[in-house]
Chains A and B, each alone.
Chain A
Amino acid sequence: GAVVSQHPSWVICKSGTSVKIECRSLDFQATTMFWYRQFPKQSLMLMATSNEGSKATYEQGVEKDKFLINHASLTLSTLTVTSAHPEDSSFYICSAPGQGLPKLFFGSGTQLSVL
């Protein structure tokens, strides 16, 4: 089955610093990847759609300059949380659709804690 690898699993950083999260499709190519955010005991909120070779598409209310997405290759998308603040603390999860399949394969998530 398709595997999506996400790193790091958790990160603690100081307020004002930037954090980069990587999402890789290991055994398939992903022209599109999705980034979600999840607060404790809540659902996943779609943040943006990452498109290989072009700009990401952000959902309403998501700050583009705050959450920088880069999809430089068919197997790698990155999310950079810039100038992180405590309110950015959350669980971030990436996913990619399998080739020809409407279902998503998810990374294991990144727990971000901003002090």
Chain B
Amino acid sequence: SQQGEEDPQALSIQEGENATMNCSYKTSINNLQWYRQNSGRGLVHLILIRSNEREKHSGRLRVTLDTSKKSSSLLITASRAADTASYFCATDNTGKLIFGQGTTLQVKP
């Protein structure tokens, strides 16, 4: 069964704007990860946040984790057309990654 739910399911913004995606999960976790998938391709790891961390940055990406609410958010700042893709959160609590439903992001030039 799927662990995570993401919202929004789809997001359309203009280049330069920020994009925020949210992920909720159900069970305890060791870490939470965010991945990106371009259409018809495999997934690429973006960032990992451990259960004892609250915020993490990587370039234009900012991830937060609230274990009390069992939720995480991914913020992409100053978006670019090349950021257009699907973004998935994935939780790890047994050595297996369980993926959320994903958010499809479209960044218009």
1/0 per residue, CB under 8 A from B, across A49-91: the answer is 1000000000000000000000000000000000000000001
Interface residues on A, range: 20 to 34
Q: In the bound complex, do residue B2 and residue A105 qualify as a contact, i.e. CB atoms below 8 Å apart?
A: no
Q: Report A's interface with B, CB cutoff 8 A.
A: 4, 6, 34, 36, 41-46, 49, 91, 93, 95, 102-109, 111
Q: Report B's interface with A, CB cutoff 8 A.
A: 2, 30-31, 33, 35, 40-45, 48, 88, 92, 96-102, 104
Among B40, B42, B104: residue with most chain A CB under 10 A: B42
Interface of A is mostly: strand
Query: Which residue of chain A lies nearest to B42 when distances are taken between CB atoms in the complex?
Result: A106
A109 and B42 in contact, given A46-B96, A102-B48, A104-B97 (Cβ under 8 angstroms): yes
Q: Which residues of A contact B48 (CB under 8 A)?
A: 102-103
A9 to chain B, nearest CB (A): 9
Q: How far is the CA of A41 from the CA of B88 in the complex (A)?
A: 12
B87 to chain A, nearest CB (A): 11
